[in-house]
């Protein structure tokens, strides 16, 4: 189900290339026009039992990567907000999946420097991406997700290995802003560890909780028991 929502112009807190705050705020369109550094979040949803990742196809009217397959949910950290708040908000707004902070496992920060042309307009994306993993005990039916029409065309599940291969091979149907030939490879290494070395993985100390995940449907998720808090994760060195 796709639901339309009125979108307001976003304001971002600008950063230096080293990740230091500048004290300047700027509108989203101007940020991507000028290539200013800013914060964003990537939220990957893993269905543990099926070993599948939830993917979204970006809406065809998006100003960047229209119609391409992408992360489960992603978005910018708005001015004055935190990365974990943005992660919760994007997952709720884009997919209708509302989960508490402890469902988000902080993984790493990815420094993305990207430039391309979409719809005949230049688009520059210089951002620090705070990458999170949400692990569901089992996958939910696709029809359970309430999709934000302005952002998401559809969702699907894909095997972790297939997603890795698509990014590695630079499949033109996927967003090409993050590749598995650099630091983003860590995502798949951490997921692989869940199945190959559970005691040494990001789920080593996790417990399963059950909650309503939006639209009244319930889902079981693993809790965040990482040694780093959400607050410290956002303060961690970026490079």
pLDDT, tens digit (0-9, with 9 covering 90-100), for 62-91 = 989 999 999 999 999 999 999 999 999 999
The whole-angstrom separation of Cα 204 and Cα 196 is 12
The whole-angstrom separation of Cα 228 and Cα 219 is 25
pLDDT over 90 percentage in the chain: 78
pLDDT at position 214: 52
pLDDT at position 16: 94
What DSSP element (H or E) covers 117? strand 105-118
The whole-angstrom separation of Cα 222 and Cα 226 is 11
Label residue 228 by pLDDT band (50, 70, 90).
confident
Q: Decide: helix, strand or coil at residue 152.
A: strand
The whole-angstrom separation of Cα 125 and Cα 147 is 24
Long-range contact pairs involving 231-238 (C-beta distance under 8 Å, separation at least 24):
231/82, 233/83, 233/84, 233/106, 233/130, 234/82, 234/83, 234/84, 234/130, 236/109, 237/19, 238/18, 238/19, 238/109, 238/111, 238/128
pLDDT at residue 152 is higher than 70: yes
The whole-angstrom separation of Cα 134 and Cα 84 is 12
pLDDT, tens digit (0-9, with 9 covering 90-100), for 27-49 = 999 999 999 999 999 999 999 99
pLDDT at residue 217 is higher than 90: no
- Rounded to the nearest integer, the mean pLDDT of the chain is 90
pLDDT at residue 239 is higher than 50: no
* Residues in a beta bridge with 32: none
Residue (of 102, 162, 167) closest to 133 by Cα position: 102
pLDDT at position 72: 98
Q: Of residues 68 and 237, which shows the higher confidence score?
A: 68
């Amino acid at each position: 189900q796709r639901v339309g929502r009125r979108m307001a112009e976003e304001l971002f807190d600008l950063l230096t290339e080293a990740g230091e705050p500048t004290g300047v705020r700027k509108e989203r369109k101007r940020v991507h026009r000028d290539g200013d550094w800013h914060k964003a979040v990537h939220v990957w949803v893993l269905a543990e039992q099926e070993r599948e990742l939830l993917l979204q196809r970006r809406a065809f009217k998006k100003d960047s990567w229209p119609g391409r397959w992408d992360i489960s949910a992603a978005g910018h950290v708005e001015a004055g907000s935190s990365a974990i708040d943005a992660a919760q908000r994007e997952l709720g707004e884009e997919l209708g999946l509302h989960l508490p902070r402890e469902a988000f496992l902080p993984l790493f920060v990815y420094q993305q420097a990207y430039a391309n042309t979409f719809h005949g307009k230049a688009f520059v994306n210089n951002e620090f991406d705070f990458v999170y993993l949400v692990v569901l005990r089992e996958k939910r039916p696709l029809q359970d997700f309430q999709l934000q029409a302005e952002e998401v065309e559809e969702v699907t599940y894909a095997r972790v290995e297939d997603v890795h291969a698509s990014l590695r091979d630079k499949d033109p149907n996927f967003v090409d802003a993050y590749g598995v030939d650099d630091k983003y490879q860590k995502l798949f290494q951490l997921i692989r560890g869940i199945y190959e070395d559970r005691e040494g993985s990001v789920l080593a100390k996790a417990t399963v909780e059950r909650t309503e995940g939006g639209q009244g449907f319930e889902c079981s998720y693993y809790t965040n028991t990482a040694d780093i808090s959400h607050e410290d994760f956002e303060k961690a060195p970026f490079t």
